[in-house]
Structure 1
């Protein structure tokens, strides 16, 4: 199946479109009893072991292990996948090969204990040869070396000769879900692209080389064993099938092109890059940047459409790395401004039919990408300035090396990519200590890992964990009542279980049932009282423990409490009511943000306390004052309407089908609690809420700001707290009105007048300071020595303003002919310095930036700047006269003169 150059790089690939391949695949397996299951998110649900969904089987992992039941035994999917982080990282190979990608699609069919090897081979062979019409003589099969069953089945089912069935080892043809658990042999279908694609190896064959001739298009995994901790494998009672075929690869075969990047999945993107750059795409090395940008544009679009935002950790870090890598390759093509965001619509045109979200959220995705591009361009500008200093230091050392820790600071502190540091170093005739960089990176990762372990750690071998091992989950009754009776199951001091606690001691209490809400989902824990005959405890907080247990952090106020005691729990009702007002308000806030700012808004964190609420959400810019007012109006309108708030339990599937909002990254069970506020809000939530929105009283914003790139934070108050907030603001206004002796309504005009009068006085004072400074400067000019035709003017001025000092230096520079000016001043506990020189002085070797830096060190500071103008400061103004004298002598020495008192030297 050869092709001409015109076919490979032409505008429209011939053959079957990728969308048609995807459609035929799903319909083929549907006809053969498979349920078409929609692609799951790129963010794996309830799987902390994976950054991204990297294969079609990820969403079925619990089905294969038996943890989850589904109403079908056969399934087929077209699954969105990402391999750009963690163990599965193809990032550095993208664009270099014909088939590596960050984002890609995996076509798959699955059997959960239904059919096995024979049918899996039959389905794959039939689809490829009959549905797609691939020539049988071009298809080969690989099998696990010990899988004689598969060897026989391939010949029986397909008629493929034994000479085209290749046995390979465990590395290539044995699959495992992990070190333990389901595993089994696999069989790959390989397409022979012909002699023209063969490599230069003496033996060009499957298993002997890895050239472009032998294209693996489909992997059939035969899940038939369970491996235990000892490595022993036992047959599974219900063997299963998991297959995966890359859409991009099969599209390259069906469209007769040499590379995935020449298919209709990528050619529109490459053409768009051609239009942006005015340069023509070519195969091989010249086309490398085009391929990287096309691939990364898809990955960024899909990740952001799913709620991932650029950040410095986790999935956001991978997104940022992909996005910035694309921008760097854009610079290689001559693009010096944000451009990647302009490819989002093209991604939507190509992929939107199968994945509507990339079209529906295109505007949002483009704005996020553009914002990150603009930040990165600023980072590059800043990083280049810092890098120039690093290069100068390396040259001064004379070892020809940029140290690893220096490159790491550029990367970690300034976000400057290592490869750009390497490129700049090579241009300067230097090299980068990559090993030192990796060591610094490893130290940082270790610190981050240790911090996470401290923050999240739960030692399963601790005395507390062992004591809880046989304890059932605490029964929470706080949705229905604020008082309930329970039995003390465990008392804990520190992490040590104890039998009893006496008056004055603080202790953790685990009950079999409780009305106290344990902190989770952003809602703080309840406080209140625990009472038993002869004992009384004040509950200071309630926290969750693993396994659904609640820990009441309490202080024994009187008497003694013992394990086994029956206690009456009473939640602080007023505090709980305030918390419920704020929690219901966060649901209204979430819905209102989506209505006013856009559906892209998602919750990114929250705090629900009795006195306030805090809500973090994804958004690419600060809401305007008008938008914040509109959000407040939305929420207060629902509050005034007195909309009933109800909650109910249902299955996760039914809740999501009903349109309930689920929080990104939150782990949910099969049964979930849904909180519904009329037609306005529907969310999954385990928190406590008011019965009617009218119970909230009033919603008022108190603060808004940024907490991270693409994440905003608002704070607000409700109920009595909102009344207190308004009273405080009213008191401030009354105080201002009393001080200014005007009615509150006249405050704006009065303050504006005062501000204008103050500005006028500042202008007059500035002019006066300038005149005084120039008078003092004239005195310095009259006494200044001249060396080599340059007047050296140095002295202290009676000013405390850096700008006036700089203006005076300019004044002297203009009056003195060829001059070198160094002025100092004192401002509180700071010394101010400025140096300025004329072109003639600069030609004689003087440098304002270097001199002012040296002088500043004499007053306990630092600074620098341009050769002709620079300023600095220090913490020791008492040494200013000494420092200025040092600067005068330094300049005179550089001009080749001794020091004389005034006039000619």
Structure 2
């Protein structure tokens, strides 16, 4: 069976058993900062297991795209060198949210493997958690497995938990036996580390809630989470031992070998590249771009590792981007976005390849500089780690360069720094949230604020410092929750509403509105009287803020459409923020926008504001929204039914925010800034409505004032400024010439002031009227005139101290400029460094320059020069 056939057979089987087929979620977990990537099939359903997300189905099945690279689950360093490690894989899964439990889950798994796929029972091995007698009885008495092909394992192997606290439960795993010709023993045996028995399916039974004290309490609705790696079961069904031999990889590896002109199809570097192009392409599809932090940094490491392996195979030019076409050909039927976004994937990869080529050059410069300071034969672990972590310089390349120079690298020191970083990454990548610390909120709030800014409803609950309370008195701050509200809770980049709450006994101000599970939480401060649970309350939104926010939110939809029209359809929204003051819109684009492009986008948005399109919101199914051409927002989580917002025939997006009624209500629109925030990601900031009017008026005020200062009309200001800058540049040249002459004159005098200290000619002087940039040339002149000696010069500039030390080449083996400057720098309150023949320093205490110059004699006398 092909991998595509296995995937379809799995999903079809569970659909026949009343499971909802759910499309793969994004590799970027929705609204979950505790996790770098979607690394398991259950991640999109996490809130269902926690009971905070209620869906219209309680059985689901999916083939979830997963990435494991960074954080707790980091397979990156093993990829290519083992048969089954990947950064990207597909996880087949079936899930029960309080519906069926152990017996049905076990029966489904066994039935699918033995009947649908036709695997012999004697080739399967089953494990259970050592204390899970219930699961063991089901396997023996209900399924009737051979009891000689069964193991009981401990918590490390057969117990799953979401974190230190929260949902957890025992596992039952099914292994495939590749036969005695492969080394290894069954699970739980001393030989279990061999490759004979390979886990293919894990059944997790979530039945307990682990509390902070370690005690367990039964979950009110036990659930099931199962996972079977598509690549692993494909290897079984295609009768190969390595995942890299299955159909998904074989053609891809052959294409890479052809691109790189490699004849050895079993080369491990080909495996690395084949795996990494999969994770690279799908991460880019889901909105990740290479950067130096977070998810972007992990993507950059994956890409650069693949590129480095290409170089090991002899690649001299960019090649990695060429592999995308082969991937799209192989997986494009299952994932059409590989074809529709092939161009932007290739562009992103090519840009990173070209940048990495420059990084290699920069890394070499850093390494060469550190080698100049090297006193022994070992490159420190700190240097190797700095090159690897900060500059993306591969460790094996550093080691190769070291070997060429008869040096070694401090592998232990590097390993310690890597271990420290890995611990920090694991801490950031785990489910580190205490799920028992959530506010005890089960209210589902109905939002009624699209058409009204006032409503009446009883107070459902009040909280103070995460504790439920019955009353909040005057001066108290807390959270108020009700079953219906006109207050919009922050989401989709739109800030939460502000306003007031009034009851018969009290009055409170609302400073923010946020979502807690399915409830809208109003952050309040009681101004007078008190608020009590059960009281009827009158809720009033700050309409001025809501209106200004709506203008900015509607403007983001227009700017999104305008950017795609002007720059191209590769533009994808990466994030946004809208409030009453401004809007911020992040989008994919490989380079800075030109002034002309910014002006065109601004003009296009204002045109569609003037057209006064009707802004229409409709609720429909996700499939209908896709048919309508609606664009989804990056990182957002959507249900089966979505709200689609259209503005004429110009913009169609999924959006749950509040908006104007017609685009004309937005008013004037003005872009105030465009900048890069990450590799391949740009940010536009803009203002609309009265905020735009105020911004334009302020700009006009500055323009008129500047014109007045230059005795010019505003229309001629640019020409006047150019004239002034040209004159200033000419004056700077004249000043530099005068300072060079002054420095040369002082240099001639300084040679005559040289004194002999410890048998060395020394010039140590504090200068006047010279800029710091002239010091280096002056030192070179003095070194030439002296022939042999040490020069120390200092000066005060802009309330700071500058020092420079020069040592002639015949003395650098005994006196090093870098050593001298460090002592002097401390005296003037600064730091310094440099080469043995030239070093500089700056300091914050220029009043100590005389003391530093006087210190030179003591320093030179301390050297043993005989």
| Alignment TM-score > 0.5, same fold | yes
Distance 1:772 1:291, change over 3 A: same
Q: Which residue number in structure 1 is paired with residue 123 of structure 2?
A: 140
Q: Is the 8 A contact 1:143 1:168 kept in 2?
A: yes
**Deviation sequence 1:697-745 (CA, Å, 0-9, x none):** 1211112223445543321111111111111111111111111112111
Q: Is 1:679 aligned to 2:649, yes or no? A: yes
Q: Is 1:214 aligned to 2:196, yes or no? A: yes
Q: Is 1:166 aligned to 2:149, yes or no? A: yes
**For 2:671, what is the secondary structure of its paired residue?**
strand
Q: Is 1:875 aligned to 2:844, yes or no? A: yes
Q: Which residue number in structure 1 is paired with residue 802 of structure 2?
A: 832
Q: Is the 8 A contact 1:862 1:872 kept in 2?
A: yes
Q: Which residue number in structure 1 is paired with residue 833 of structure 2?
A: 864
Q: Is the 8 A contact 2:280 2:302 kept in 1?
A: yes
Q: Is the 8 A contact 2:559 2:601 kept in 1?
A: yes
Q: Which residue number in structure 2 is paired with residue 848 of structure 1?
A: 817
Write the distance in 2 (CA, Å) between the matches of 1:677 and 1:240: 43
Q: Which residue number in structure 2 is paired with residue 357 of structure 1?
A: 337
Matches within 5 A, 1:277-316: 281=264, 283=266, 287-310=267-290, 315-316=295-296
**For 1:553, what is the secondary structure of its paired residue?**
strand
Q: Which residue number in structure 2 is paired with residue 903 of structure 1?
A: none
Match of 1:247 among 218, 224, 231: 231
Write the distance in 2 (CA, Å) between the matches of 1:345 and 1:89: 27
Q: Which residue number in structure 2 is paired with residue 797 of structure 1?
A: 767
**For 1:783, what is the secondary structure of its paired residue?**
coil
Q: Which residue number in structure 2 is paired with residue 624 of structure 1?
A: 594
Give the deviation of 1:858 after TM superposition.
3.0
Distance 1:346 1:845, change over 3 A: farther
**Deviation sequence 1:423-481 (CA, Å, 0-9, x none):** 9999547453579647854885799799997xx99955xxxx57xx68x5555443222
Q: Is the 8 A contact 1:737 1:747 kept in 2?
A: yes
Q: Which residue number in structure 1 is paired with residue 452 of structure 2?
A: 481
Q: Is 1:688 aligned to 2:658, yes or no? A: yes
Q: Which residue number in structure 2 is paired with residue 553 of structure 1?
A: 524
After alignment, is 674-683 or 82-91 more displaced? 82-91
After alignment, is 91-100 or 567-576 more displaced? 567-576
Q: Is 1:80 aligned to 2:51, yes or no? A: no
Give the deviation of 1:299 after TM superposition.
1.5
**For 1:870, what is the secondary structure of its paired residue?**
strand
Match of 1:524 among 488, 495, 498: 495
Q: Which residue number in structure 2 is paired with residue 7 of structure 1?
A: none
Give the deviation of 1:771 after TM superposition.
0.7
Give the deviation of 1:348 after TM superposition.
2.7
Distance 1:278 1:829, change over 3 A: farther
Q: Is the 8 A contact 1:583 1:613 kept in 2?
A: yes
Match of 1:705 among 671, 675, 681: 675
Matches within 5 A, 1:136-215: 140-144=123-127, 166-170=149-153, 185-192=172-179, 195=181, 198-199=182-183, 209=191, 214=196
After alignment, is 862-871 or 209-218 more displaced? 209-218
Q: Is 1:745 aligned to 2:715, yes or no? A: yes
Write the distance in 2 (CA, Å) between the matches of 1:429 and 1:539: 60
Q: Which residue number in structure 2 is paired with residue 101 of structure 1?
A: 86
Matches within 5 A, 1:396-411: none
Write the distance in 1 (CA, Å) between the matches of 2:462 and 2:17: 59
Q: Is 1:779 aligned to 2:749, yes or no? A: yes
Q: Which residue number in structure 2 is paired with residue 609 of structure 1?
A: 579
Q: TM-score if structure 2 supplies the norm length?
A: 0.79
Q: Is the 8 A contact 2:173 2:199 kept in 1?
A: no
Write the distance in 1 (CA, Å) between the matches of 2:586 and 2:318: 27
Q: Which residue number in structure 2 is paired with residue 42 of structure 1?
A: 27
Q: Is the 8 A contact 1:606 1:615 kept in 2?
A: yes
Q: Is the 8 A contact 2:235 2:242 kept in 1?
A: no
Q: Is the 8 A contact 1:224 1:236 kept in 2?
A: no
**Deviation sequence 1:288-321 (CA, Å, 0-9, x none):** 4443233222222222222233456664454344
Distance 1:669 1:267, change over 3 A: closer
After alignment, is 98-107 or 323-332 more displaced? 323-332
Structure 2 residue ranges without an equivalent (≥5) = 129-134
After alignment, is 224-233 or 659-668 more displaced? 224-233
Give the deviation of 1:690 after TM superposition.
0.5
Distance 1:331 1:423, change over 3 A: same
Give the deviation of 1:752 after TM superposition.
0.6
User: Number of residue pairs matched?
Assistant: 841
Q: Is the 8 A contact 2:510 2:522 kept in 1?
A: no
Q: Which residue number in structure 1 is paired with residue 706 of structure 2?
A: 736
Matches within 5 A, 1:756-771: 756-771=726-741
Distance 1:473 1:245, change over 3 A: closer
Structure 1 residue ranges without an equivalent (≥5) = 1-15, 157-161, 898-905
Q: Which residue number in structure 2 is paired with residue 5 of structure 1?
A: none
**For 2:288, what is the secondary structure of its paired residue?**
coil
Q: Which residue number in structure 1 is paired with residue 132 of structure 2?
A: none
Give the deviation of 1:882 after TM superposition.
3.6
Q: Is the 8 A contact 2:35 2:430 kept in 1?
A: no
Write the distance in 2 (CA, Å) between the matches of 1:64 and 1:337: 49
Q: Which residue number in structure 1 is paired with residue 131 of structure 2?
A: none
After alignment, is 93-102 or 106-115 more displaced? 106-115
Matches within 5 A, 1:391-540: 427-428=407-408, 430-433=410-413, 437=417, 440-441=420-421, 459-460=437-438, 472=443, 476-486=447-457, 499=471, 505=475, 510=480, 512=482, 514-528=485-499
Q: TM-score if structure 1 supplies the norm length?
A: 0.76
Write the distance in 2 (CA, Å) between the matches of 1:807 and 1:116: 80
**For 1:867, what is the secondary structure of its paired residue?**
coil
Give the deviation of 1:581 after TM superposition.
0.6
Distance 1:822 1:41, change over 3 A: same
Write the distance in 1 (CA, Å) between the matches of 2:369 and 2:553: 52
Write the distance in 1 (CA, Å) between the matches of 2:758 and 2:504: 99
Write the distance in 2 (CA, Å) between the matches of 1:147 and 1:532: 59
Write the distance in 2 (CA, Å) between the matches of 1:527 and 1:57: 36
Write the distance in 1 (CA, Å) between the matches of 2:511 and 2:229: 57
Q: Is 1:573 aligned to 2:573, yes or no? A: no
Write the distance in 2 (CA, Å) between the matches of 1:785 and 1:533: 92
**Deviation sequence 1:309-363 (CA, Å, 0-9, x none):** 3456664454344334435545655668865444333333433333222233233
Q: Is the 8 A contact 1:270 1:281 kept in 2?
A: no
Give the structure, 1 or 2, with the largest relative contact order (CA under 8 Å, sep 6 or more).
2
Q: Is the 8 A contact 1:205 1:214 kept in 2?
A: no
Q: Is the 8 A contact 2:767 2:795 kept in 1?
A: yes
Write the distance in 2 (CA, Å) between the matches of 1:534 and 1:25: 60
Q: Is the 8 A contact 1:115 1:240 kept in 2?
A: no
**For 1:622, what is the secondary structure of its paired residue?**
coil
Distance 1:858 1:279, change over 3 A: farther
Q: Is the 8 A contact 2:384 2:409 kept in 1?
A: no
Distance 1:519 1:705, change over 3 A: same
Q: Is the 8 A contact 1:53 1:82 kept in 2?
A: yes
After alignment, is 491-500 or 38-47 more displaced? 491-500
